[in-house]
Amino acid sequence: MSIAQYFHTARHLKPVQVSNRISRKYTRARRYKGKAPDLASPRKQWETQVPVAPSLLVDGLAHFLNVSGPQYGWENPDRSKLWLYNLHYFDDLHAAGAARRSQLHREMISRWLQDNPPYTGTGWEPYPLSLRIVNWIKWLLAGNAPVEGMTASLVQQAHALGRQLEYHLQGNHLLANAKALVFAGTFFSGKVAARWEQQGLKLLDEQLAEQVLVDGGHFERSPMYHCIVLMDVLDLIQLGQL
């Protein structure tokens, strides 16, 4: 890339995007070592309103982006970064027919906990962190008993996310970060949970005001992103009713 191309790219960036790219290069999130927060007590269970298409297959494969691969190939070099991101999201917990795959889901969560130690690998990057935190919490709020180590991991995941928000990318990534912090702050109770919730709510206020236009559309003018953000808002509305 030429100097002119760098210039014409960088001149459109916000100062926070530049500073965040620099800070992310030289800082790392550290493991949470405080007292584990207690779980909150919701008044009713989570209900999946719009199930997504299943992505886990009974023959040990996952299917994303029209490509199949091993369900436990968390860092599979033969798959794209986006494919691996999808594997770490755990969207299948809320897919059509998810109840029939309940045991598979429990095994997959257990394997993820075993194979992905804190702050290591693709699964601990902020965007897959954000989507998995929400998916795991919705699954637990739906009445599923936690897999051993699952809630302790959620504490570490929320802590890690809160220290690597994607200001450098902005857009739907930053909104997903905020949503996950609100979910974590609502699912747990106590001071640290309240801090996650307030951090997420403050970010939501800022980003919804910027990203949702006066006509109700998403500012990237993409039907895909519009649908993603709409579902995020609907999830947050249901969370507030629990």
Round to whole Å and give the CA distance between 74 and 88: 7
The radius of gyration computed from the CA coordinates of the chain, to the nearest angstrom, equals 18
Give the pLDDT band (50/70/90) at residue 70: very high
- Give the domain extent around 177: 46-241
pLDDT at site 19: 47
Global confidence as pTM: 0.88
| 14-18, 59-63, 64-68, 143-147: range with lowest mean pLDDT | 14-18
Query: Which value, to the nearest 10 degrees, does the dihedral of the CA atoms of residues 208, 214, 215, 216 take?
Result: 20
In whole numbers, what is the pLDDT of the chain averaged over residues?
A: 88
| Beta-sheet pairing, 38-39 with 188-189 | antiparallel
Any domain includes 8 = no
Output the 3-class SS for 195-240: HHHHHHHHHHHHHHHHHECCCCCECCCCHHHHHHHHHHHHHHHHHH
Convert the pLDDT of each residue in 128-141 to its tens digit.
Answer: 999 999 999 999 99
pLDDT tier at 1, thresholds 50, 70, 90: low
Does residue 13 belong to any structural domain of this protein?
no
What are the pLDDT digits (tens) for 148-199? 999 999 999 999 999 999 877 667 899 999 999 999 999 999 999 999 999 9
- Domain assignment of residue 60, yes or no: yes
14 within a domain of the structure (yes/no): no
Domain with 94 in it: what CATH number? 1.50.10.100
Predicted confidence (pLDDT) at residue 116 exceeds the cutoff of 70: yes
Task: Specify the number of domains making up the chain.
Answer: 1
User: Does residue 92 form part of some domain?
Assistant: yes
pLDDT at 146: 97
Give the pLDDT confidence of 217-240 residue by residue, as tens digits.
998 889 998 999 999 999 999 999
Cβ proximity of 121 and 157 under 8 Å? no
Residue at 23 is within a domain: no
More confident of the two residues 221 and 33: 221
Residue 22 resides in a domain: no
